[in-house]
């Protein structure tokens, strides 16, 4: 079995190369790439300033009727964005950087791609982990109960609800929930989006959890010069390094602020408040499949010979179901834990867009729209690597749970 997993790890290399090469090639030939975007911005700037471009037309790169751009500038743009080489050589250069853990620079953010991605990972991980745990917590008991009560009114009614939920895309359910509970048409119970509150006013329920703070002007001048980013009129909370030098009589509880000004409990409550609707939409996507899989797996095991033998020995129904049949029925469910490595991708692009959650999925969406190919390819590298590792981990779990499985 060690040989099998060693082969799987080695096969990750050509699989990864195939995935990235295909996507990299698409970015080279799809119209509207970063070079065309730069030319368009240049033409728009020239049109606004009233300066007509002079020089040769850049191989049709200029839009009809717009200012023309010189061939020299066009070649310089190709060099800046790496389009001056054949696509296969450019891919080898890019792959060499990836091997050295260099994902390049973002065209949109003008920062290293890894820094941009790293900022979004905690948000997606938080939402993805919560949705993953909730889906298993709800679907396993529901699937077991449906199998035990197969054919009953409860089984029929719950099946209708399960498949209705399965038929509704998560993003469209998000729009409906925002209309009903986000202050759109009915109740203003939950926020319209985001992962945390950007503004907490004095009349907010979270105002009671605000930390102590002080005005920037109350910081001694000798200490204030150490923090050039502070501006007059600003407030700092007790977590700021300069707060320790503020005189005691100048300190007071903040009356307004943001999520960064909340205490630990307030921050947690604020995050949970923002999570309710998005996580519900995440769970909808996994709700039906896992519930039906759990029910079918348990019903299949209840029809096996060992279950009938257990009943013949006089064991109680609960003992047979929950000690013998349920244990074997959890095997296909438990192997899904192997994909926990891909939790940061659990958030749907569209769900994060609907709820304005600046996570991993939303970053991928904005990168595609803006033709920010370094970020798009960086997300592809992380996504494909985690998916390949998750598949291998799932096989390992399958072997650990079911001793009968041998990959020889």
pLDDT digits (tens, 9 = 90+) for 198-251: 888 888 888 889 999 999 989 888 888 888 888 888 899 999 888 988 998 889
Q: Residue 47: in which H helix or E strand, if any?
A: helix 34-49
Residues of the domain holding 240: 211-254
Provide the 8-state DSSP code for 262.
B
- 226-249 burial, b if ≥16 CB within 10 A, otherwise e? eeeebeeeebbbbebebbeebeee
Integer Cα distance of 328 and 321 in angstroms: 10
**Residues 70 and 107 placed together within one structural domain of the fold:** yes
Q: What are phi and psi of 236, to 5 degrees?
A: -120, 150
pLDDT at site 406: 67
Any domain includes 271 = no
**Residues 93 and 10 placed together within one structural domain of the fold:** yes
Name residues of the chain where pLDDT drops below 50.
53-65
Domain's final residue, options 62, 80, 113: 113
Tokens describing residue 87: 């696509």
**Residues 107 and 119 placed together within one structural domain of the fold:** no
**Residues 172 and 313 placed together within one structural domain of the fold:** yes
Q: Which of 362, 369, 366, 368 is nearest to 345 (CA)?
A: 362
Domain's final residue, options 113, 134, 154: 113
pLDDT at site 18: 94
Output the CA torsion sign for 57, 58, 59, 61: negative
**Residues 215 and 294 placed together within one structural domain of the fold:** no
Q: Which of 114, 152, 37, 34 is nearest to 82 (CA)?
A: 34
Tokens describing residue 178: 């925002």
CA gyration radius, the chain: 28
pLDDT at site 92: 92
pLDDT at site 371: 85
Any domain includes 238 = yes
Any domain includes 199 = no
**Residues 101 and 19 placed together within one structural domain of the fold:** yes
Question: Is the whole-model pTM more than 0.95?
Answer: no
pLDDT at site 395: 79
Any domain includes 262 = no
């Amino acid at each position: 079995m060690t040989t099998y997993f060693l082969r799987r790890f080695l096969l990750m290399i050509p699989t990864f190369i195939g995935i990235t090469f295909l996507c990299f090639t698409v970015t080279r030939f799809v119209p509207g790439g970063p070079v065309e975007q730069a030319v368009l911005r240049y033409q728009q700037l020239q049109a606004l300033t009233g300066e007509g471009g002079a020089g040769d037309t850049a191989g049709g790169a200029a839009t009809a009727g717009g200012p023309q751009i010189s061939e020299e500038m066009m070649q310089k743009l190709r060099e800046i964005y790496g389009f001056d080489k054949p696509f296969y050589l450019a891919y080898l250069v890019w792959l060499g950087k990836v091997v050295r853990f260099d994902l390049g620079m973002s065209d949109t953010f003008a920062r290293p791609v890894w820094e941009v991605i790293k900022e979004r990972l905690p948000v997606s991980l938080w939402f993805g982990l919560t949705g993953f745990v909730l889906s298993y917590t709800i679907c396993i008991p529901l699937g077991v109960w449906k199998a035990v009560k197969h054919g009953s009114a409860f089984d029929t009614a719950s099946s209708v609800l399960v498949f209705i939920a399965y038929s509704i895309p998560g993003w469209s359910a998000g729009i409906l929930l925002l209309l009903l509970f986000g202050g759109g048409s009915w109740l203003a119970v939950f926020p319209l989006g985001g992962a945390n509150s950007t503004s907490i006013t004095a009349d907010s329920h979270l105002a009671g959890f605000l930390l102590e703070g002080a005005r920037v002007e109350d910081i001694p001048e000798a200490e204030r010069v150490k923090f050039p980013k502070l501006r007059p009129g600003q407030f700092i909370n007790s977590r700021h390094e300069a707060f320790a030098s503020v005189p005691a009589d100048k300190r007071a509880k903040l009356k307004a602020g943001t999520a960064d000004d909340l205490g630990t409990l307030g921050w947690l409550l604020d995050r949970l408040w923002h999570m309710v609707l998005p996580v519900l939409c995440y769970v909808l996507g996994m709700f039906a499949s896992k519930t039906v899989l759990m029910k079918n797996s348990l019903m299949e095991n209840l029809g096996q010979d060992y279950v009938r033998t257990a009943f013949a020995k006089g064991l109680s129904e609960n003992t047979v179901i929950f000690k013998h049949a349920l244990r074997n029925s959890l095997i296909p469910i438990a192997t899904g834990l192997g994909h926990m490595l891909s939790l940061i991708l659990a958030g749907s692009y569209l769900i994060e867009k609907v709820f304005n959650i600046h996570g991993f999925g939303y970053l991928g969406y904005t990168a595609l729209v803006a033709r920010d190919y370094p970020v798009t390819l960086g997300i592809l590298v992380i996504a494909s690597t985690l998916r390949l590792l998750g598949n291998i981990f799932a096989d390992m779990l399958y072997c650990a749970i079911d001793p009968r499985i041998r990959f020889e």
